[in-house]
Structure 1
C-alpha cells in the first residue's frame, strides 16, 4: 500500500459532472470543481472532514501520488452499513465495478449481484481463515467489523473471479443515502411496474413519482418483489444514481457554494475511500470530461438458482453465461467494453426515466 501523502491542490478548470456514482462521494468530488470561484479553502476543509481515507484495497503496488492519473481505471464501489450488527459483522448491500476508459471520458457501471456464488479466499475466524463457497457479499461481512478488512477481502474475491485489479475504492454508508435525499427535499424515481416492498409504505405505483428518503431507500433496497429478483434492484440502484445527480444539479448543489458546503457537512462520517495515495482533487480534475449521458450500466451474465434451499445467483461453468461473463471480465481488463456492449446490447440496463 502506498504512503498516504497529501497531494497537490489544483484549481479545476471547469465543473466536472460527477465523480464516483455512490451517493455523497460523487457529490463531494463534483463540488470541488467550483474551487476556481474562490471558495477552495472552505471547501477543502469541509472535504477533509467528510472524507475518511483508509487502506481499503489489498496490498499491491501503488502509483506515485505525484504521477499523472491515466486510464483505464477500475474502481470498486460499495454501498454498506458502516455500523456492525449483533454478530460484530459489517454489512454490504451494493457492489459495483466502475470502469473508466483509457481516455478518461467514458464510464461504465457493472453491478455485481450480492447473491453471486463465488469462491471466497477468507471466510473469517469461524472458518479459521480458510476459504469457502458462498455469496459474494459474505466476503465483506465474514471478516468484519473493520471496513479495511471487509473491503480488502471483497476486492480479492472479485479479482480472483474477474482478473480485474482495482485502482481505487469507496464505501458509502446507507445513512449517507438518507441525508443526501433529505437535503434535496426528496428524489424522483421511475418504476417500470407496480412494486411491493418489505419496508416503507409497502406499495409504490408504476411511473415517475417524488419520494422522501425512507420510501426512496425502501424502493432502492427492494429485491424480492421484482420479477427478476436482485437484477431488478440493480437496475433501480443504477437509476437512483442518475436521478441523484440530476436532482443535485437542479437544486444548485453543484454550483451554489453555500449549498455545496452544507451538502459536504451533511455527509461527514458517511464516506470511506482509498485512491491509492492520490489526491481527491487530482481525481476530480482527471475525470472532468466524462459525460453522464454516455454512461452505460450493465448486468452481469448470470442466472438465479436454488441450492440446498438457498437462493443464489450463479455463473454455471461452460454455460452461455460463463462465456459471456468471461468475455465481459476480459473487456474490463483490456478496456474494450464499448465493443462488448455493442455485441451484447441485451445486458445494458435501460434507465426507466428515459423510456
Structure 2
C-alpha cells in the first residue's frame, strides 16, 4: 500500500484554507450577524428507518470538508450566464462533482488534528447503489432526488436544487461513515462561486509564477513573475491543468500556493478592519458556504489559524493501487477497507471498531445493490 502524502497535504490545506477565508471573519462580527446568514443542511440527521451512524464516541470531533463545482449559489439559485462567463465556465445540466473530500479529525485527547483526504476515484460502497467512485455519491443521489421531486410536481427550481443537494450530501456522508466507521460530527461545503467572490472581497490575491503560461480551456494567460489575480482570473489560475509539466499534480501545487497566500492575506493586519471588505466577505460566505447547524464558525476559525501555522497533520487514506480498474472498465483507486478503518481510528489513538464479517456498512449499502441512476 502507499500514501500520496505530498499531494494530499496540498489538497487538504487548500480546501481547509478556502473555508477558513470565510470563517476567519467571524471573530470580527457578532455570532448572529454571520452564523444566521449561512445556509445550513440537515445532511447529518438519519431518517426514519435508516441504520444508525457509527458510535459518537470515536475519539475525535470529525468535520467533513467538501469542495463542490455546483453552478448554483448556496441558496440553490442558478448562476446567471453572466456570472458563469465571469467564472470562465458554463452550465452543466445540474451535475455536481465533489472531487475534494477531506475528513478533518480533531482528537478529544488533545492530540494533533489530522486532515485525511479520500481520493475522488476511491472505489467503495455507496448507499443504495453498490460499489462506485466516492465522488459520484453526491451527484447521482442529487440527480435521483431532483427527478423524484419533479415527478411529484415540484416546480420551484431553487427548492429542487436545495432539497436534492441535501440528499446528495446525506448519501456522501453515509458513504464516508461506512468507509471509515467514523461518525461525521460536522459538515462544511464550499461551491465554485466561493473562489470568485472571496478573491474579489480580498481585492485580489498575490501569486508568483516561474514561467509564463496559458491554457485556452481554463482561460489561463499569465506572465512570469509576481502578480495579483482575482475573480475569473483567480479561478483560471487554480483550475489550469493543460500546459503544466505535471498536469493535475501541478494544478494542486497552484491551488495550495494560491490558498495559502489568500489565507495569509486575510489574516494579515488591517484586512478585516475594513467595513467594506468585511461586508463583501460576509456576502461571499453567505452565497458560497453551507454548514451543518451545529458547526461553530468561531471554533472553526481558530482551527483554521492552526492550519495556517502548520498545526495539522496531513495524510491520505491507505490505497492498494491508484491504477485499478472496475469490472465495467472505470479507472479507480482500490483500497483495503480494514486498512482504511485502522488508519483513521489510529489518528485519534483508537482501534478500529469491529464490524460484521464482510466489512459491514453503517447505512446498509449492499455491494450488489442496483444503482439508482447511471453515473454521468
For Structure 1 versus Structure 2, the TM-score category normalised by the shorter chain is: 0.5 to 0.7
- Relative distance call for 1:93 and 1:207 in structure 2 (3 A) is farther
Does the CA contact (< 8 Å) of 2:25 and 2:281 recur in 1?
no
Q: What is the CA–CA distance in structure 1 between the aligned matches of 2:291 and 2:20, rounded to whole Å?
A: 12
Comparing both structures, which one devotes a greater share of its residues to strand? 1
2:115 to 109, 115, 118: 109
Structure 2 counterparts to residues 1-355 of structure 1, below 5 A: 21=16, 23=18, 25-35=19-29, 40=30, 44-49=32-37, 51-59=38-46, 72-80=60-68, 81=70, 83=72, 87-102=93-108, 106-122=112-128, 131-144=129-142, 145=161, 146-189=164-207, 197=215, 199-202=217-220, 210-222=228-240, 230=248, 233-250=251-268, 252-275=270-293, 277=294, 279-281=296-298, 283-284=299-300, 287=303, 290=306, 292-294=308-310, 295-302=312-319, 303-305=321-323, 307=325, 312-317=331-336, 325-334=340-349
CA deviation map 1:39-83 (0-9, x unaligned): x3xx7324422x1122122426899xxxxxx97311111121163
Q: Conserved in 2, the CA contact under 8 Å of 1:89 and 1:143? A: no
> Which whole-Å deviations, capped at 9, do the CAs of 1:156-186 have from their partners, x for residues lacking one?
1111112222110011121111011122232
5+ residue gaps, structure 2, are 1-12, 47-51, 73-77, 79-90, 143-160, 352-376
Whose relative contact order is higher, 1 or 2, with alpha carbons under 8 Å and at least 6 apart? 2
Q: Judge which range, 151-160 or 100-109, deviates more.
A: 100-109
Q: Per the alignment, in what secondary structure is the counterpart of residue 98 of structure 2?
A: strand
- When residues 310 and 91 of structure 1 are mapped into structure 2, their CA distance, relative to the original with a 3 A threshold, is same
Distance 2:291 2:168 in 1: 13
Helix, strand or coil: the match of 1:31?
helix
8 A Cα contact 2:212 2:223, kept in partner: yes
Aligned partners of 1:185, 1:262: CA distance in 2, in Å? 10
Give the drift of 1:300.
3.9
> How many residues get paired?
291
Q: What secondary structure, in the 3-state scheme, does the structure 2 residue paired with 1:215 have?
A: helix
Of stretches 145-154 and 181-190 in structure 1, the one that deviates more from structure 2 is: 181-190
Structure 2 contact 105–348 (Cα < 8 Å) conserved: no
CA contact (8 A) 2:54 2:177 kept: no
Checking the alignment, whether the CA contact within 8 Å between 2:24 and 2:302 is kept in structure 1 is no
How far is the alpha carbon of 1:271 from its aligned partner? Answer: 1.5
Report the Cα offset of residue 137 of structure 1. Answer: 1.1
How far, CA to CA, are the matches of 1:235 and 1:192 in structure 2?
A: 13
Q: Post-superposition shift, 1:104?
A: 6.1
SS at match of 1:77: strand
1:14 corresponds in structure 2 to none
2:204, 2:229 within 8 Å by CA — same for their partners in 1? yes
Give the alignment's TM-score, normalised by structure 2: 0.62
TM-superposition CA deviations, 1:244-300 (whole Å, max 9, x none): 21121237334445422331023322211104x35444x358748836222333344
TM-score normalized by structure 1? 0.65
In structure 2, do the counterparts of structure 1 residues 316 and 297 end up closer, same or farther at CA, with 3 Å as the change threshold?
A: closer
